[in-house]
């Protein structure tokens, strides 16, 4: 079996970091991106190397499409130098931010920021990276439980994720001829820095979500990192165009 390589956006913290560590634990080499936190990214590279996999961290702002040509060149070069290859196996579109604002108060600037980071960025990033994704490879997009259920304050954020869910089906249809499967994972509320860390740090929010979750607690990064590694395992190669919610049964 050839060595597998995953490219994960936003691997410096939170769910992306957990995912790269879990993918590494099953023997997958890693390219991941960071946006603002270079030291955190360097720490993750060292953790990955201690696990025994090859790891490369690259800077990327997913909202700046003008840089995607350069970024694709950097990935090409990293593949060549580190793996003597011209393709990678798995793309995980994970990087993202949340903005909690009611529909009636959402500004155009907030809308555009979410659009660029959560939808337009991953749309064109994936398009740029297509030649580097191996035939028979996988794409996993990251959505949210909020695209199925509605919580006040997430209209724009959840709408962008809903768009990613529709895009997932179109990518699955069009990339299927190259044997590439495309799925979307929808995490429930997870304790990370996301949205100012409110799920982790605000006891009231944490307890409310736990009370609305079948398994009785909010999610932790391990819940999602494990799920991402499982979804990219060889056992699930025949699954495509699916939305998989990993939320402990939130808002049933
Ligand atoms: N946590 C949740 O409750 C939850 C639930 C459902 C879905 N999600 C989704 O899961 C994904 C990861 O969230 P998280 O909880 O891990 O968030 P997080 O802990 O805040 O981490 C965000 C990651 O994305 C990167 N990032 C942020 N803005 C970026 C940009 N403009 N360009 C490129 N990278 C950028 C960050 O890089 P730096 O470290 O360099 O800043 C970091 O690696 C997001 O798509 C989010 O919407 C999260």
Ligand 1 close to Cβ of residue 14 (< 6 A): yes
Ligand 1 close to Cβ of residue 40 (< 6 A): yes
In ligand 1, which atom is closest to the CA atom of 11? 43
Global pTM value? 0.98
- Over residues 112-120, the mean pLDDT reads 98
In ligand 1, which atom is closest to the CA atom of 219? 3
- Over residues 129-153, the mean pLDDT reads 98
Burial of residue 58 (CB within 10 Å: 0-12, 13-18, 19+) is: middle
Q: Does pLDDT of 69 surpass 90?
A: yes
- Over residues 189-213, the mean pLDDT reads 95
In ligand 1, which atom is closest to the CA atom of 34? 40
Ligand 1 close to Cβ of residue 71 (< 6 A): no
- Over residues 174-195, the mean pLDDT reads 97
- Two tokens at 145? 């439980």
- Over residues 202-226, the mean pLDDT reads 97
Ligand 1 close to Cβ of residue 61 (< 6 A): yes
pLDDT one-digit tens code per residue, 32-49: 999 999 999 999 999 999
Which pLDDT band holds residue 237 (cuts at 50, 70, 90)? very high
Ligand 1 close to Cβ of residue 18 (< 6 A): no
Q: Does pLDDT of 109 surpass 80?
A: yes
Q: Does pLDDT of 29 surpass 90?
A: yes
What does the pLDDT read at residue 28? 98
- Contacts of residue 205, defined as CB under 8 A and 6 or more positions apart, other chains included, come to 198, 199
Q: Which residue has its alpha carbon closest to ligand 1 atom 44? A: 96
Ligand 1 close to Cβ of residue 184 (< 6 A): no
Ligand 1 close to Cβ of residue 247 (< 6 A): no
> 6, 75, 4, 18: which is closest to 193 by C-alpha?
18
Quote the percentage of the chain above a pLDDT of 70.
100
Q: Which residue has its alpha carbon closest to ligand 1 atom 17? A: 194
Q: Does pLDDT of 138 surpass 80?
A: yes
Ligand 1 close to Cβ of residue 37 (< 6 A): yes
Neighbours of 184 (CB within 10 A): 27
H or E segment at 22?
helix 14-25
**3-class SS letters over 186-228:** EECCECCCHHHHHHHHCHHHHHHHHHCECCCCCECHHHHHHHH
Which pLDDT band holds residue 2 (cuts at 50, 70, 90)? confident
- Two tokens at 180? 């590439």
- Over residues 18-38, the mean pLDDT reads 98
The residues that bridge with 187 in the sheet, in sequence order, are 246
**What's the mean per-residue pLDDT of the chain?**
97
């Amino acid at each position: 079996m050839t060595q597998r390589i995953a490219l994960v956006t936003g691997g410096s913290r939170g769910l992306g970091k957990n995912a790269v560590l879990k993918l590494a634990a099953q023997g997958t080499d890693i390219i991941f991106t960071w946006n603002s936190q270079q030291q955190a990214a360097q720490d993750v590279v060292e953790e990955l190397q201690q696990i025994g996999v090859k790891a490369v961290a690259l800077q990327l702002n997913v909202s700046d499409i003008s840089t995607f040509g350069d970024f694709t060149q950097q990935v090409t070069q990293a593949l060549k130098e580190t793996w003597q290859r011209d393709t990678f196996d798995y793309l995980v579109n994970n990087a993202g931010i949340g903005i909690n604002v009611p529909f009636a108060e959402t500004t155009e600037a907030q809308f555009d920021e979410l659009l660029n980071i959560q939808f337009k960025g991953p749309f064109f990033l994936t398009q740029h990276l297509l030649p580097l994704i191996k035939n028979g490879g996988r794409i996993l997009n990251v959505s949210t439980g909020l695209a199925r259920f509605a919580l006040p304050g997430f209209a724009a954020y959840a709408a962008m994720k809903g768009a990613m869910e529709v895009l997932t089906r179109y990518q699955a249809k069009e990339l299927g001829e190259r044997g590439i499967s495309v799925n979307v994972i929808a995490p429930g509320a997870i304790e990370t820095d996301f949205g100012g860390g409110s799920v982790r740090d605000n006891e009231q929010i944490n307890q409310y979500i736990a009370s609305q979750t079948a398994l009785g607690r909010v999610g932790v990064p391990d819940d999602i990192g494990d799920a991402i590694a499982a979804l990219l395992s060889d056992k699930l190669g025949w699954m495509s165009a699916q939305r998989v919610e990993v939320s402990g049964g939130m808002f049933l």
